[in-house]
Amino acid sequence: MRSGLSILLKYPLRALALVTVICSPVFSHPRQEPLPPQSQAIDDETFRIQAYAHHDLALLYLAKGEVDKALAEARAILQTPIPPAYEKAVAESMGKIAGKLKDLRRFDLAQTLLDENLKVTVQIPNRVSILRVKAALFLYAGEESKAIEAEKRARELEAKIR
């Protein structure tokens, strides 16, 4: 006989709901101060926890083929001000999500997501990484000229940091 969380693992939606309730600050205790507006920066640890949750949900939605929901989760990461310490992790996260979109042959959405990531990425090495992922996606989609252009942009940025 199974007990505890092992029962809930049989029912993924119940397990996800339980984890959400347990981890959600709204249910843990009432807040004394008002919630900060979305545009206001949050602390690094809060960002990390939220970003990992959005990333995991995006990958789960993509595994189920729910592309719109996955993109909404990915964009939720990009809409929050990204702490410099986590900019590389966000770039890698968007690269993984774009890779899953590539597997679903949704190249246009993958490129759009990476473009949105470029808009909020400040650090040059992370911008280079994103451009290289874009180049690989273009190449995979058969758009060699765009792949070359993206790789050239990446090399130009790399030259700036040397």
Maximum Cα–Cα distance across the chain: 62
- Given a contact cutoff of 8 angstroms between Cβ atoms, the answer to whether 70 and 97 are in contact is yes
Closest by Cα among 57, 79, 78 to 68: 57
Q: Is residue 123 one of the residues assigned to a domain?
A: yes
Global pTM reads 0.72
Q: Is residue 70 part of a domain?
A: yes
Asked whether residue 62 is assigned to any structural domain, the reply reads yes
Neighbour tally for 24: CB within 10 Å = 9
**Which residue has 């899953």 as its token pair?**
100
Give a yes or no: residue 119 inside a domain.
Answer: yes
Which CATH number fits the domain that encloses residue 153?
Answer: 1.25.40.10
Beta-carbon contacts of 91 under 8 Å, excluding residues fewer than 6 positions away, are: 117, 121, 126, 129, 130
Half-sphere exposure of 54 (CA within 13 A, CB side): 20
Q: What is the pLDDT of residues 80-108, one digit of tens each?
A: 899 999 999 999 999 999 999 999 999 99
Hey, what are 4's tokens? 């505890």
- Counting the structural domains of the chain, the total is 1
Q: Which domain holds residue 119?
A: 42-161
Q: Which of 28-32, 68-72, 118-122 has the lowest mean pLDDT?
A: 28-32
Tell me whether residue 24 is in a domain. no
Residue 3 lies in a domain: no
Average pLDDT, integer, range 12-29: 49
In a domain? residue 106: yes
115-152 pLDDT, tens digit each: 999 999 999 999 999 999 999 999 999 999 999 999 99
Is there a domain that residue 58 lies in?
A: yes
Question: What per-residue confidence (pLDDT) applies to 129?
Answer: 96
